[in-house]
């Protein structure tokens, strides 16, 4: 299993690659629309050319945004790779309880029309393996 440091560094590196590729694609589309705008301006009244100029501007803006995100993620990947594990472990949640509380008043609440959940039918030789401490204490006494 990867450490938090390795996980975050890999995430940022992958995101940087994606945003770099997206920036390049949008830049290419912007160039294509600029070329189509020039062709339309020479051949027609220019209405379609204006549409292509607008599309080129949108793609340039998206390219710029993706470039910014790529730079950010590349920087964060570098910082994660250099980080000390103790610094990265501060990001892990601390108040998470993975076990349900030992409260006898907690029980499953069936939906309307659903049968009450029954206890598992466990063979006698395996019952000791499947008993809960509270059930055992209640049986004993």
Most confident segment among 78-82, 89-93, 125-129: 78-82
The band of 112, judged by pLDDT with boundaries at 50, 70 and 90, is confident
Most confident segment among 11-15, 87-91, 92-96, 137-141: 11-15
What is the model's pTM? 0.55
Tell me, yes or no, whether 108 lies in a domain: no
Q: Which domain holds residue 47?
A: 4-89
71-75, 82-86, 136-140: which has the minimum mean pLDDT? 136-140
Looking at beta carbons, which pairs linking 90-97 to residues 24 or more positions away fall under 8 Å? Answer: 91/4, 91/8, 92/4
Q: pLDDT at position 102, please?
A: 64
Tell me, yes or no, whether 114 lies in a domain: no
Give Cα 113 to chain centroid, integer Å: 38
- Number of domains present in the structure of the chain: 1
Tell me, yes or no, whether 100 lies in a domain: no
The band of 109, judged by pLDDT with boundaries at 50, 70 and 90, is confident
Tell me, yes or no, whether 63 lies in a domain: yes
Tell me, yes or no, whether 135 lies in a domain: no
Q: Which of 12, 51, 56 is nearest to 31 (CA)?
A: 56
Tell me if 45 sits within 8 A of 74, measured CB to CB.
no
């Amino acid at each position: 299993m990867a450490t938090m440091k390795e996980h975050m560094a890999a995430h940022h590196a992958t995101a940087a690659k994606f945003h770099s590729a997206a920036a390049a694609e949008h830049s290419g589309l912007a160039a294509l629309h600029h070329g189509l705008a020039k062709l339309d301006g020479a051949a027609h009244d220019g209405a379609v050319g204006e549409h292509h100029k607008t599309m080129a501007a949108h793609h340039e803006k998206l390219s710029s945004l993706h470039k910014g995100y790529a730079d950010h993620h590349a920087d964060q990947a570098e910082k994660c790779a250099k980080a000390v594990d103790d610094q990265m472990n501060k990001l892990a949640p601390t108040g998470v309880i993975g076990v349900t509380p030992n409260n006898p008043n907690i029980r499953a609440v069936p939906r309307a029309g659903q049968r009450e959940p029954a206890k598992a039918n466990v063979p006698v030789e395996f019952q000791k393996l499947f008993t809960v401490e509270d059930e055992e204490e209640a049986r004993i006494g």
